Each structure stands twice: as C-alpha cells, then as structure tokens.
Amino acid sequence: MLLNHYGQGFLLVGGGVLLALGLVRLVRRCFSSAVLMQAHNATGNMLSMVGTLYAVLLGLVVVDAMVRFERAVDVVQAESTRLADVFLLAERFPEPQQERIKDLCRAYAVEVVEREWPLMAEGRSSLEARRIALLLARSIDDFAPRSETEKIVFPMMLELLREVWDHRRERITTAQHGIPTIQWVVLLIGSIVTILFAGLFSIDSNRLHILLTALGALVLGLNIYLAMLFGYPYSGALSVSNQPFKTDIGIFDGLFTPTPAQAGEAPTVGL
C-alpha cells in the first residue's frame, strides 16, 4: 500500500513534467522564434507577477496542509490520552459505575481501531463508535457523589469525558473534509499557466529550454504532491497512526500493569 501511494506520487510528478514539456513544445510550434524574441520583456514581466502570486498561493496551501496534518496527530494523541485517563480515574468510582465506564472505554477503543480507522480513509465514521462515545459521555449522568473523594473526582471525570467527545468530533471532521475541490482547480490551472509562460521565452538552445521547463515542472509537481499527502491526514502514505488507541487497549487489558512480583523487585545495580 505504501509503495502504491508513492507510485502514484511518481506518476503525478512524472506525468506533470511530461505534460509541461508537451505544452512548451506546443507553444513553440504556435509562435516563431522572432515573435517570442519580440515579446521577451513582456513575457518576463508577466511571469514575475504570475509566478510570484502562484508561489505564494502554493506555499500557503502546502503549509496549511502540513499544519492540518500535525493538528490531526495532536488530536488523536489527546483523545486517546483522555480516554486512558477516564479508564484509570474510573477506579475511584463505586460499582456499577466503575465497571460500566471501563467496559465502554475498551469497547470504544476497539471500535475505533478495528472499524472506524479504515472508514476514515474514505471520509466516513463509525456509527457504532459514535454511539459508544455518547454512552460514555452519559455514563455518570445518574451518579451522585457522596464521599469527599467522589466529590473531587466527579468534576474531573466530567471534564475528561467532554474532552474525549470534543476531540472525537474534531477528528471526524478532519477526516471528512480535506482540501476543497476549488483549491485543487486553482492550483492546477495556476501550474499550467506558469508552465505556459516558460514556453513563451525565447531560448536558442532547445536542450536548455527543456531542462529549465522540466526543473520548474518538477518543483511544482513535488509541492502539489506534498499538499496531497498532508492535506488528507487519515488516508494515503502519511496517514495518522491509530497506535495511541492500540496503546489504550493494552492499558485496558492490563498489558502494562506490573505483576506483584515485578512491582516488588528491587533495581539491580551492575558491579
């Protein structure tokens, strides 16, 4: 799958370079060298204006996509951390609230990892995961704290449950909305116009003209590919990992809880 995505990137960038060379060749056939030489100064001024505007636009899109990806990583980490905190804090509650909260935490993490994560790659979410999240958010609605410990823990649990729900909604929203279609249209049209201006320059050496055009198209293609990679955090070669939720499942199953023998072991010092 990873090779497939990078293969798509190679085809995108390589195809863009070939398309650029084809456009430049078409322009050279439509206008003679004498005409291109006469318009050399005007072409250079227009390319400076158009190229600058397009470079700024492309740079902003790439930066926005990278920030979007980093934010998605932070949201997943925050959601999984709050979920583990809810599970651990539930031990301060009496039965049956304690067992109900722990069961819901584990069911939610399993549902997210096994079913919802593949769906997010398609811009969808799991209705079952949302149902479990709602049950978890309402798991202590009927609980009235009595002891001093419960009175201290209760508002902390409410805040953690709210944060789990909020981070979940942000995660799903990010998965469902990538880079808008109109943005892609503007980027592609801008790249084509920029390459066309490269074809309007009068250069005596065809090899040099081809080289400059290919290098320019390569840089444009690589930046567009970066926007595509980072603009969809839950799909593609650089998709956000569900490892934090897998770690939660390990915590819920007691995989990271030391045994009594391990807890009582004294550290050994090498001599």
Predicted confidence (pLDDT) per residue in 180-239, tens digit? 889 899 998 888 888 887 777 766 677 787 888 888 888 888 898 888 889 899 987 788
pTM above 0.95, yes or no: no
Domain chopping of the chain, boundaries: 2-254
Structure tokens at 105: 């935490």
Query: What are the pLDDT digits (tens) for 121-131?
Result: 888 999 999 99
Query: How much helix, strand and coil, in percent to the nearest 5, is found in the chain?
Result: 75, 0, 25
CA–CA gap between residue 166 and residue 168 (Å, rounded): 5
- 101: Cβ contacts below 8 Å, ≥ 6 apart: 86, 87, 90, 93, 136, 139, 140
CA–CA gap between residue 218 and residue 196 (Å, rounded): 15
| Reduced 3-state DSSP string for 130-187 | HHHHHHHHCCCCCCCCCCHHHHHHHHHHHHHHHHHHHHHHHHHHHHHCCCCHHHHHHH
Q: Which residue has the tokens 């990278």?
A: 66
Q: Please report, for residues 77, 93, 114, 265, the alpha-carbon distance to residue 171 in angstroms, rounded to integers and kept in the order given.
A: 11, 29, 16, 41
